[in-house]
Amino acid sequence: MNRLGIIDIGSNSVRLVIVDVDNEGYFSIINEFKETVRLGDTDKNSVLKPERVQKALYTLQTFKTICEAVRADRIICVATAAVRKAPNQQEFVDTVRKNTGIDVDVLQGSKEAIFAYYGVIHSMNEKKGLIMDIGGGSTELVHFEDHMVKNSISLPFGSIDLAKKFDVSGSVSYENAQKLKEFLFAQFDNVPWLKKLKDLPLIGVGGTIRTIGKIDKKFRQYPLNLAHNYKIHSQNVHNIYSIVKEKPAEKRTKIKGLSKDRTDIFFGACAAVWHLLEYCSIKNVIVSGSGIREGLIYDFIEKNHRPIENVLDFSIENIMAKFKVDKQHAYQVLKLSSSMYSQLGDLLKIPKSAENVLKTAAMLHDSGINISYYDHNSHSFYMILNSGINGLTHREIVMSAFAASLHRHKKLKLDWKEYSQILSKDDADSIIKISLLLRLSESFDTCMDNFIEDVTCEFDNEKAVINLIAPKKPNVEINRALYAADVFEKLTNRKLVIQ
């Protein structure tokens, strides 16, 4: 087991994440701290101001004390644009080392972009996209396709730079908004590969994009409190840009989702997002909750433990390790339910695209036992919804949570209207059928001993027959599974036979 303290010295804030990485490379974030330091508030020559350096030193000393108190085995500390651009960079690094004992790795723009890419690519199933990581002092752009970086660049402006260069801390005049747009388009013109991008989503990393997502969710009354993988249409980004542009500073604090410590620097950064969407004719934005800090975690895991080949599989296994889920039983339920899903596909008519929902629900259906065995299927709903599963859309997460929660219900009734922004009636139908497969599969592993080796299925117009392959007749498993016969018949109009 390694306990890491990961410190990110940004232009706007300094953050600490405490993370445990076990011997198999699974990790768990156990605490997080943030201080708004504004190192990016430099003088006209980009020199770090003494008062900002002192605040950073105090914060880093505090973070070092926390790391020592929690017995962190190692501190990984990186600094980004504000320190990178500062003429007194080396003086800052030496002062930090002398006063705290922390070695600061000042990331070049290209390396910062790659760590942002690591954070995204290991937490999403997007095969191609344009990553935008807008910080306080720089903006990183990464174009990737087929999980390979095609182009990347670090642009020399961030939210603090834009706020200082243009008068955007309060309501913004038409002239200033145009000057800001012209500046941003000129910066984008200097990146020749940007013009060639087509049909890509913009994947946003950092506080600005997360804030845009929060505001949009408040406007929409979105039912999930999940930031990662939240999707926003470009028109909604423009609407937020327009609303913020017109409001004076004192009224921006009343915008739901916009934190008070970001009101003075938000508009310029929001404009950068909107104008990049406009410049590249991008229609959709995906919010990434994973960025540089998560990229550093994944980099550590891959260098010291294992490659991460499948985002969803690693995420599910990581959650199973955290909650001590019985892996043998979970894999058996997945094996049997997947077999029936394939063989009974023409009968049940569950879309092929629901495979990841079935996998997630099967593997995590018993996760709620960590709260209490009694009513654990209901606890599993909450845990799946809030465990930070990577590699699934919000729709797939909600479907997985519902399917797992119903696997012990005798009457499969689903109240999904609260999530009608996310789920359709067809999705609700698929959830019911997946939960039926889970219920049958768990019955087939009643003794949790893998006694059933496999299943074969056949059906005609009157009945469906499930044949259990086992060393001897599995009477216990058959009797348990037949409790679901009525539901099966209701869903398929066929009698269920298990033998």
Please give the pLDDT value at position 377: 82
- Residue in the block written with tokens 């049909």: 199
* 290: pLDDT strictly greater than 80: yes
Please give the pLDDT value at position 407: 80
Length in residues, the chain: 499
Query: What are the angstrom distances between the C-alpha of 434 and each of 161, 166, 362, 409, 489?
Result: 51, 54, 9, 13, 15
pLDDT digits (tens, 9 = 90+) for 316-375: 999 999 999 999 999 999 999 999 999 999 999 999 999 999 999 999 999 999 888 888
Contact 264, 184 (CB under 8 A): no
Predicted structure pTM score:
0.93
Please give the pLDDT value at position 179: 94
Mean of all residue pLDDT scores within the chain: 93
Give 309's contacts (C-beta < 8 A, 6+ positions apart).
Answer: none
* 297: pLDDT strictly greater than 90: yes
pLDDT digits (tens, 9 = 90+) for 414-448: 677 889 999 999 999 999 999 999 999 999 999 99
Residues of the chain with pLDDT > 70, as a percent, come to 99
pLDDT digits (tens, 9 = 90+) for 175-201: 999 999 999 999 999 999 998 998 899
Please give the pLDDT value at position 414: 67
* 413: pLDDT strictly greater than 70: no
Residue type (1 letter), 274: W
Contact 429, 399 (CB under 8 A): no
pLDDT digits (tens, 9 = 90+) for 451-470: 999 999 999 999 999 999 99
Which domains occur in the chain, in start order? 2-106 (3.30.420.40), 110-290 (3.30.420.150), 311-498 (1.10.3210.10)
Query: What are the angstrom distances between the C-alpha of 413 and each of 257, 398, 419?
Result: 35, 15, 15
Please give the pLDDT value at position 173: 87
Please give the pLDDT value at position 248: 85
* 51: pLDDT strictly greater than 80: yes
Please give the pLDDT value at position 446: 93
Residues 394-404, mean pLDDT to the nearest whole number: 96
Please give the pLDDT value at position 376: 85
pLDDT digits (tens, 9 = 90+) for 216-267: 999 999 999 999 999 999 999 999 999 999 888 788 888 999 888 888 889 9
* 119: pLDDT strictly greater than 80: yes
Predicted confidence band of residue 412 (pLDDT cuts 50, 70, 90): low
Predicted confidence band of residue 409 (pLDDT cuts 50, 70, 90): low
Task: Give the rounded distance of the alpha carbon of 381 from its chain centre.
Answer: 18
Contact 72, 43 (CB under 8 A): no
Which segments of 263-391 does DSSP mark as H helices, in order?
A: 263-280, 292-304, 311-323, 327-343, 345-348, 355-364, 376-386
